[in-house]
Amino acid sequence: MKNYTLKSGTILSLLLFFVVANSFAQHSEISQIPVDNQSKFAMVGYATANYFSKGGDGGFMSSTFNPIFVYKPTDKLSFNAELEIVVEDPEAWDGSLALEFAELAYQLNNNMTFYAGKFLSPIGTYQERYHPAWINKSINGPIAIMNEVNGIKRLQGDSELGMGLKGGFYAANARLNYNVYVTNGPKVNDDGSVDWNNVGPDNNNSPAIGGRIGILPFSNSTFELGLSGYRGKAGDKSAYSNVNVTLFAFDLNYVKQTDYGKFGLKGQYNGQYLSDGTFPETKIAFESFNNNTSASYLQLAYRFPSSKFELVNRIANFNVPNQVTWGADQTRFTTGIDYWLSWNTVFKLGVDFANNDSTGIGFTFAMGL
């Protein structure tokens, strides 16, 4: 009952904010922008062909097609959705079709948009901004933030189901952006990991609340720092009912064009904390332990001046409690070279090293649509 009241209260607060903010919009700049009664539509997205070989065991190919539909029927309304169609096992012609996101949005005023539906996880920046294969300069994603290998579980999901408010504003000479949202929240597994892709019905009638604020302190907008937070009940109504998950993330992005080429530095740190709990499928079944996990990456890209070649190096780190069975501490180094055929089409060749995993080599041909 308490959870239900909390959920209703949170949702009502958001809707109330929606109404109040919209009333202010009557006098904002955006209400003065004329609508030309023409729907604005585009299909963008990306497509990839991938080859990856690890430990001399031969390679495998996969292919993805991710159409993104962006639709702006009026000046204030918009709908954006992405499908992901993947061929994973060519022998079995086994693939998958998923709805990555489907977000309806209403522009409340110059600085705020209300949105609802399934949206890309706003924790940090990697998932929301850099994960498309033609934007991610490396052959793979950073471990545990994007990539799951050797049983390692991710510390954030692809998408969330819920609603929120987001936008941007200026403070002095700095530009800020923000995002606050309410979602169904994740689910905790018997092995003490968190199922972040729990986008079905809410498993515990208790919403999770999250947010991110980013600051671009300089007028040329080349540098951004971000801080994200997320908290919610992860346990089901019956099992692990008192287990809460708290996540915070820190991200940075710096891009600098110089006479010597273009430099790009990106990084993110995710820290995941589960309140004390006992889980049957751990090495110490039914004993309590500090279930705290973290993942981070730092990537430096360098594009030669007036060249189609770009070098990419990334170091990623994953730390997990010794008591769990879903992965071990890992440091992963990925290096590669990209060749840009056009502004949105790239050949990527890279090598992936890890302290407790075989070396892999990968090739990706990616195209933005």
- Region 164-193 residues binding another protein, contact defined as CB under 8 A: 166-170, 173-179
Question: Per CB under 8 A, does 298 bind another protein?
Answer: yes
- Residues 5-34 interacting with another protein (rule: CB under 8 A): 29-30, 33
- Residues 111-150 interacting with another protein (rule: CB under 8 A): 111, 113, 115, 128-130, 134-135
Q: CA 353 to CA 215: how far, in whole Å?
A: 33
Binding-site string for another protein from residue 203 to residue 242, where x marks contact by CB under 8 A and - marks none: -----------x-xxxxxxxxxx-----------------
Q: How many helices (H) and strands (E) does the chain have?
A: 1, 18
Encoded tokens for 246:
């708290």
Which residue type sits at 49? Answer: A
Selected range binding another protein among 92-100, 102-110, 192-200, 232-240, rule: CB under 8 A? 102-110
Buried b (16+ CB within 10 A) or exposed e, 63-75: ebbbbbeeebeee
Which residue type sits at 349? Answer: L
Question: Per CB under 8 A, does 311 bind another protein?
Answer: no
- Residues 331-360 interacting with another protein (rule: CB under 8 A): 331, 340, 343-344
Question: Per CB under 8 A, does 49 bind another protein?
Answer: no
Q: CA 83 to CA 80: how far, in whole Å?
A: 10
Q: CA 178 to CA 90: how far, in whole Å?
A: 42
By C-beta, is 238 or 258 nearer to another protein? 258
* From 12, 13, 40, 237, residue interacting with another protein (rule: CB under 8 A): 40
CA-closest candidate to residue 292, choices 266, 267, 329, 251:
329
Residue entry with tokens 């995002």? 179
Q: How far is the CB of 132 from another protein (least distance, A)?
A: 8
**Residue 218, CA atoms < 13 Å, CB-side half-sphere:** 10
- Residues 254-283 interacting with another protein (rule: CB under 8 A): 254-257, 262, 265, 267, 269
Question: Per CB under 8 A, does 105 bind another protein?
Answer: yes
